[in-house]
Amino acid sequence: MYKIVDKKVLNDDIDFMRIEAPLVARNAKPGHFIILRVDDEGERIPLTIADNDEKHVDIIYQKMGYSTKMLGEKQIGDHVADFVGPLGKAAHIRDKQHVVGVAGGVGAAPLLPQLKAYKKAGSKVTLILGARNKDFLILRDEYEQFVDEVIYTTDDGSFGEKGLVTDPLERKLKDDETIDHVIAIGPVIMMKFCTQTAVKHGRSIDVSLNPIMIDGTGMCGNCRVNIAGKTFFACIDGPDFEGHEVDFDGLMKRQSYYKDEEHQCYIRLKDGR
């Protein structure tokens, strides 16, 4: 059992949690993820590590499905049944002059440690953070402490620019020749269009993939993704890949395989288990 030592509700959809998990914290690095099970009947849910100290690991999750909603019902002092990691390859912090980090919604959480690492390594960093509306723009304070430039977008124009993250990305890549790398983390469709934009302007781009997973150790093969025509396992070969090599359409299809079943679970949740 793993104790929840802190929790904050960031908005209607997104929570922050700090979990006591020394075995995960010991070797955790930016880009790593964890897998947790809320209880003994639970699914194994993969979540990227947002931050950690020697004993604790921070996660930020969107309550979009049955299992994350169950997690959201847990409070400080409660426990989750299982919490394992760090999984995946740590993010590859490249030698770059100016990096644009693009995040959509809860993607702001996994991007944070990566962008911080770039800043620490001496790169100039620009953040483009997008969400549905002002309430869903998370971690603004945390980012504003260190980024060199920040652009916010909202779908409804309630904060920052109205529109999608790809609009300011397109503009920045056109106007600022010092930018030599992009990282995009968010919904697959967002990462797909960010990749198209980066490729169009001749910039490299890293994306972070989140296919369905079970064990997270390379054992089951559920998380396979098509990278430059070859099959890789996101859990042990990723989760970060170079955007221009990723088959995003295939990933979206594989992510949606159990959507009817997810709906069944969701109905059960609404009916009170």
Residue 42 interacts with other proteins (CB under 8 A)?
yes
Q: In the block, which residue shows the tokens 């993704």?
A: 225
Q: Closest distance between other proteins and the C-beta of residue 234, in Å?
A: 12
Map the footprint of other proteins across residues 73-92, applying CB under 8 A. Answer: 81-87
Residue 217 interacts with other proteins (CB under 8 A)?
yes
Residue 8 interacts with other proteins (CB under 8 A)?
no
Q: For other proteins, which is the closer residue by CB, 68 or 123?
A: 68
> CA 213 → CA 3, 31, 33, 249, distances in Å?
23, 16, 12, 18
Residue 24 interacts with other proteins (CB under 8 A)?
yes
- Binding residue (CB under 8 A) for other proteins from 8, 27, 228, 270: 27
Residue 215 interacts with other proteins (CB under 8 A)?
yes
Residue 220 interacts with other proteins (CB under 8 A)?
yes
Q: For other proteins, which is the closer residue by CB, 142 or 262?
A: 262
Q: For other proteins, which is the closer residue by CB, 144 or 257?
A: 257
Conformation bin of residue 150: beta by default, left when phi > 0, alpha when psi is -120 to 50? beta
Compute the C-alpha angle 204/256/221, nearest 5°: 70
- Binding residue (CB under 8 A) for other proteins from 5, 224, 242, 245: 224
Q: For other proteins, which is the closer residue by CB, 133 or 256?
A: 256
Give the binding-site size for other proteins (rule: CB under 8 A).
41
Strand locations in 118-254 (E) = 124-131, 149-154, 161-162, 181-185, 204-208, 224-227, 230-233, 240-242
Q: Closest distance between other proteins and the C-beta of residue 47, in Å?
A: 14
The DSSP secondary-structure symbol of 125 reads E
Residue 227 interacts with other proteins (CB under 8 A)?
no
Write the single-letter amino acid at 60: I
Helix, strand, or coil (residue 146): coil
Residue 187 interacts with other proteins (CB under 8 A)?
no
Residues in the chain: 273
Residue 254 interacts with other proteins (CB under 8 A)?
yes
Q: Closest distance between other proteins and the C-beta of residue 241, in Å?
A: 15
Helix, strand, or coil (residue 248): helix
Residue 41 interacts with other proteins (CB under 8 A)?
yes
Q: Are 34 and 49 in contact (CB under 8 A)?
A: yes
Give the dihedral sign, CA 85/51/96/100. Answer: positive
Tell me how far apart the alpha carbons of residues 208 and 146 are, in angstroms, rounded to a whole number: 22
Give contact residues for other proteins (rule: CB under 8 A).
23-24, 26-27, 37, 41-44, 66-67, 70, 81-87, 214-215, 217-222, 224, 226, 231, 236, 250, 253-254, 257-258, 261-262, 264-265, 268
